[in-house]
Amino acid sequence: MIEMEVSLGERSYPIYIGQSLFSSLSAKRLISTQRVAVISNSTIYPLYQTQIQSWLKDFDVLPVIIDDGEQYKNLQTFEAVVGQLLSANLGRDTTLIALGGGVVGDLCGFVAACYQRGIPFIQIPTSLLAQVDSSVGGKTAVNHLLGKNMIGAFYQPKQVLIDTDMLNTLPPREFSAGMAEVIKYGILWDRDFFDWIVKHQSDILAKEPTVIQSMIQRCCEIKAEVVSKDEKEEGLRALLNLGHTFGHAIEAELGYGDWLHGEAVAAGMVYAMMIAQLRNWLPQSDVDAVKSILAVFQLPVEGPQSMRAKDYIPHMQKDKKNKEGTMRFILPTQIGRTAIFDDVRFDELQAILG
């Protein structure tokens, strides 16, 4: 088992990465309250119900099960979860556990941030995307019809438990979607890691345990380093949104749940690279290398055929990175290096989006 830390002063917390963590880590060691509510969904909870109940046998446990899907990451589900906590008379002496993918983690974290002005929560991410990205860093939110993750808070978990065995129950499409976020780290931060992914692509596809653990560890190291320097996304942390300006537009335009988040981000990263190529920052070989590794994991390298520049822009204008009404984009200057730009022109968007 690997233990690492997200360094945020008094809000610092550990990340545990390994196999069979329920048998390796004592719940009594991690949880300081007697009452626990497990927030999960109708797909995930039945898979791990026996394990989680056994792990929490010494606690008073309330399961709170939501419907499965991005379309349920909204204020209606938030209110329903809070209602169940109130109906059970749970107070501030309660720990929430997010058992699921990014939707469950984001929703549970937001509930924890708001319920009685804040209670502790633990992330147990079950999807690759959540393990390498959304479970770390304290971004919690729900979606609004007019934009993704527009209602939320920065609220850090007490611990993150990443059990790589849970990936064995993950559908292939969900695993591929998570690989988009893995590849993102290589493009935006670490060329050596990008090359490592390319080199180990067969082992990753086969979910070779030591390779998967090393991959997740490196993603969490990068995320923890960035978050420790810029917790509330005032500058550096925005780089983690590579591909997301385009990706969120795809999700919002099509309706949440049509394209998976990682699929939309994959297409968005290619578009960001194409703008960089238009500006003569990137050689064609770099764009081709990214398209090639995305294709290995069956990820899209372009957005929906039905969408043109005019369909993206209204959503981009609502992006959280924007300042003073100016759209801001994360663009790679080379594989392994990115920066924030506010000078992307409509003709550049039209050239790549149509």
How far apart are the C-alpha atoms of 315 and 106, rounded to whole Å?
Answer: 21
What pairs with residue 152 in β-bridges? 141
Residues 6+ apart with CB under 8 A from 304: 250, 253, 254, 259
Query: Which positions are catalytic?
Result: 117, 139, 181, 223, 233, 237, 241, 244, 248, 261
Integer Cα distance of 171 and 228 in angstroms: 32
8 A C-beta contact, residue 235 and residue 264: no
Q: Which tens digits make up the pLDDT trace of 3-24?
A: 999 999 999 999 999 999 999 9
Mean pLDDT for the stretch of residues 24-33:
96
What confidence tier does 32 reach under pLDDT thresholds 50, 70, 90?
Answer: very high
| pLDDT the model gives residue 15 | 98
| pLDDT tens sequence across 92-123 | 999 999 999 999 999 999 999 999 999 999 99
Please report which confidence band the pLDDT of residue 70 belongs to, taking 50, 70 and 90 as the band edges.
Answer: very high
Q: Where are the domains of the chain?
A: 2-169, 172-353
The CATH fold assigned to 172-353 is Dehydroquinate synthase-like, alpha domain (1.20.1090)
Q: Output the pLDDT for position 145.
A: 86
Token pair, residue 82, equals: 């809070």
Using 50, 70 and 90 to split pLDDT, how confident is the model at 266?
Answer: very high
Q: What is the DSSP string of 110-139?
A: HHHHHGGG---EEEEE-SHHIIIIITSS-E
Cα gap 154→131, rounded to integer Å: 18
Q: Say what the pLDDT of residue 146 is.
A: 84
Three-state DSSP state, 92: coil
Q: CA torsion 258→70→189→329, rounded to 10°?
A: 70
Residue 325's pLDDT is: 82
Query: What CA–CA distance (Å, rounded) separates 258 from 187?
Result: 26
Per-residue confidence (pLDDT) for residue 257, from 0 to 100: 79
> 2-169 in CATH: which number?
3.40.50.1970
